[in-house]
Amino acid sequence: MIHKLPIRHLLSIALTTSVLALTGCSSGGSGSDNGQAAPASSAAASAASTPTGAADKLGDRHIKLAYVEWASCTAATNVVKAVLEQKGYTVDAVSVSGAAMYSALANNAADATVCAWLPSTHANYYARTKDKLDNLGANLTGTKLGLVVPDYVTIDSISELADHADKFKNRIVGIDPGAGEMGLTEDVIEQYKLPLKLVAGSGATMTAALKSAIDNQQWIVVTGWTPHWMWARWQLKYLSDPKGIYGEAEEIDTLTRKGLQQDSPNAYAILDAFHWNPDQMQQVMADSRKPGQDPASSAKQWVVDHADVVSTWTSAAH
């Protein structure tokens, strides 16, 4: 379970601000979100070509997806966005903090997320809001998180970090301060009595620091998770966690606001059927980093190239 985060007051401010942004969101939400909503004309054309009975099942055709800007969440959100748009929906994908994502769903400021890391990473957020959400279950299983180092680093356990703190510049390079993994890492520092400081940043700053260290064969320890494109790019390893603070393997769940099933039946059915595996997610993430690609375009291409997989999600919508 996640204990109290040391940034509670910051989260309250971020939560309020992000929910207000979601309520009047536009496509993309943040400058770094590469997903764009389908133009109104294309959505209208799609609706016009849809049989009347099927159009009725679309219900409210405007769907708001909330996500945390991690590589895994960005990939999943853009894939679901592309599928829903194929089916006639206009979709806004909005990047928020972890706390704000749950609050937005609980307060009907967003419709769904495919980024709920449970049972441990987002346990604190989920416990506060679960009575106001619908949990549709896992869309991906076999995830993991923990402290990650390049494979040339000669220690293998978190318990060894204290004796080599200077080689790691007395720091653990983290991600956004609202992430559940950051709270767990604070617990790791306390329980293992590590003389290292947790440095907050973002997923992008974490991987940039990792690249710089590896390019120079320096020691570095970062907060990491699976699936993530960094595993395909560099030789890395998790440090073992003898105290089990990071928990066992997790899953990523799909959550919706209450009432979405009635308001947008087909969208709800597709979200409920959405399920893929880590290799498929890794492919979308890797493709998005190729020259000329971005998360939105690579997700759309993956959807086109894997019509057989997508059909298992959309067949639930009638």
Q: How many residues does the chain have?
A: 318
Percent residues over pLDDT 70 in the chain: 82
Could you tell me the pLDDT band of residue 168, with boundaries at 50, 70 and 90? very high
Helices (H), ranges, 87-156: 98-106, 123-129
CATH of domain 8-143+250-314: 3.40.190.10
- In this chain, the answer to whether the domains covering 8-143+250-314 and 144-238 adopt an identical fold is yes
What's the rounded Cα separation, in Å, for the pair 285 and 295?
A: 7
Q: pLDDT grade, residue 57 (50/70/90)?
A: low
Question: Do residues 268 and 250 make contact, with C-beta atoms less than 8 angstroms apart?
Answer: no
Candidates 3.90.1150.10, 3.30.2130.30, 3.40.190.100, 3.40.50.2000; CATH matching 144-238: 3.40.190.100
Residue ranges of domains in the chain: 8-143+250-314, 144-238
The residues pairing with 154 across neighbouring beta strands, listed in sequence order, are none
Q: State pLDDT tens for residues 91-135.
A: 999 999 899 999 999 999 999 999 999 998 898 899 999 999 999
- Does residue 170 contact residue 195 with C-beta atoms inside 8 Å? yes
Question: Can you tell me whether residue 105 is helix, strand or coil?
Answer: helix
pLDDT bin (cut points 50, 70, 90) of residue 275 is: very high
**Which letter does DSSP use for residue 16 in this model?**
H
d(CA 159, CA 52) in angstroms, rounded, equals 63
